[in-house]
Amino acid sequence: MNSENKVVLVTGGGHGLGKEIARAFLAAGFRVSICGRNQSRLDECRKELETIAGPDAVCVTQADVSDQDDVRRLVSSTLEKFGQIDVLVNNAAVLGPLGSVESLDLKNWLKTIEINLCGTVLMSKEVIPHFKSRKQGRIINLSGGGATIGRPNFSAYAASKAAVVRFTETLAQELADHGITVNVVAPGALNTEMLDNTLAAGVDVVGDKAFKQCSEQKQTGGDPLEPPCQLCIFLTSDNASKITGRLISAKWDNWHALAQHADELVDTDIYTLRRITPQDRGLVW
């Protein structure tokens, strides 16, 4: 996919990683549409993005990805301004309630699922007909801590992100014959608002291990924001046209070399979620 005149829609683009992803795509020559729930943040972000590429390359819409009417309005406003959408980056997410499961408010727990998982589903559902009509499109979802391992005291976030990974694999198979790829990016341990919220919750809520890890991350600066941004851009390139249904780590995976192994990747379960059996560990039970 050539970036010239292409359009990327980034949810949760008003701050943090979403804003950096939007900036990276603008710098790469894309036109960018972003959304968020906080209008003041969006206004500030608009100013920043327009200094990079001008107002004609930027579309900003206040929208909640868990609200179907908002999602429809967001996609419509993007199409109205740009006439097309080529890439969807489902970045919008919340950390959700923290603490042991029995201590959590179910309403807040379910709201996390609505935003992180259902928001990803709603956004994908809304752009798929447009992608199918053009016989091309890229959907990039965002993973997070707890998607592949247990994460005590972060059950809402972990469950939602694990579900996003499985949704990615499933949707990729559904869309394989339509020229549409679907992948999920694990961005790394980033120093964003979620980290601050974790530290603010305190050690008694998140536990000794998580609090210590987050405190050290805060002090050291965390993982850089650039690698996940560049991985998202790579997944829109022609070199990534055969890569779909994969969970790729911006930090740990040698994704720069994936284009050389695309044919091998297609026929394997590499970068997917799978059940581990005794035989996988050299055991016979």
Q: Do 89 and 212 sit in the same domain of this protein?
A: no
Q: Do 75 and 86 sit in the same domain of this protein?
A: yes
Q: Do 16 and 127 sit in the same domain of this protein?
A: yes
Q: Do 119 and 147 sit in the same domain of this protein?
A: yes
> What would the two tokens of residue 136 be?
């091309």
Q: Is 262 exposed, middle or buried (0-12, 13-18, 19+ CB in 10 A)?
A: middle
> Is 109 among the domain residues?
yes
Residue 144 vs residues 54, 186, 242: alpha-carbon distances, Å: 32, 6, 24
251 closest CA partner among 189, 193, 166, 195: 189
> What is the reported pLDDT for 267?
86
User: End-to-end distance of the chain based on CA atoms, in angstroms?
Assistant: 48
Catalytic positions are 157
Does residue 167 carry a pLDDT above 90? yes
Q: Do 116 and 218 sit in the same domain of this protein?
A: no
> What is the reported pLDDT for 2?
64
The secondary structure of residue 117, as a DSSP letter, is: I
Q: Do 81 and 164 sit in the same domain of this protein?
A: yes
Q: Which residues pair with 60 in a beta bridge?
A: 34
> What would the two tokens of residue 118 be?
């259902």
Sequence-ordered strand ranges (E) for 121-220: 137-142, 180-186
Mean pLDDT along residues 114-142: 99
Higher pLDDT, 146 or 179: 179
Distance CA 26, CA 58 (A): 9
Domain that holds residue 207: 191-222
Distance CA 110, CA 159 (A): 11
> Is 283 among the domain residues?
no
Q: Do 208 and 234 sit in the same domain of this protein?
A: no
Do 162 and 146 form a contact (C-beta atoms < 8 A)? yes
> pLDDT tens for residues 258-277?
999 988 998 899 999 999 99
Torsional class of 170: left (φ above 0), alpha (ψ -120 to 50), beta (otherwise):
alpha
> Is 284 among the domain residues?
no
Reported pTM = 0.95
Q: Do 79 and 205 sit in the same domain of this protein?
A: no
> Is 2 among the domain residues?
no
Give the count of domains, the chain: 2
> What would the two tokens of residue 39 be?
């209008």
> Is 281 among the domain residues?
no
Mean pLDDT along residues 233-252: 97
> Is 70 among the domain residues?
yes
> What is the reported pLDDT for 4?
75
> What is the reported pLDDT for 145?
87
> Is 1 among the domain residues?
no
Does residue 3 carry a pLDDT above 80? no
Q: What is the CATH number of the domain that holds 84?
A: 3.40.50.720
The fraction of the chain above a pLDDT of 90, given in percent, is 94
Q: Do 167 and 208 sit in the same domain of this protein?
A: no
Q: Do 204 and 124 sit in the same domain of this protein?
A: no
> pLDDT tens for residues 17-71?
999 999 999 999 999 999 999 999 999 999 999 999 999 999 999 999 999 999 9
> What is the reported pLDDT for 152?
95
Whole-number average pLDDT of the chain: 96
Q: Do 90 and 176 sit in the same domain of this protein?
A: yes
Q: Do 198 and 107 sit in the same domain of this protein?
A: no
> Is 132 among the domain residues?
yes
> What would the two tokens of residue 227 be?
């690698």
Say how far residue 36 (Cα) sits from the centre of its chain.
Answer: 14
Q: Is 63 exposed, middle or buried (0-12, 13-18, 19+ CB in 10 A)?
A: buried
> pLDDT tens for residues 93-115?
999 999 999 999 999 999 999 99
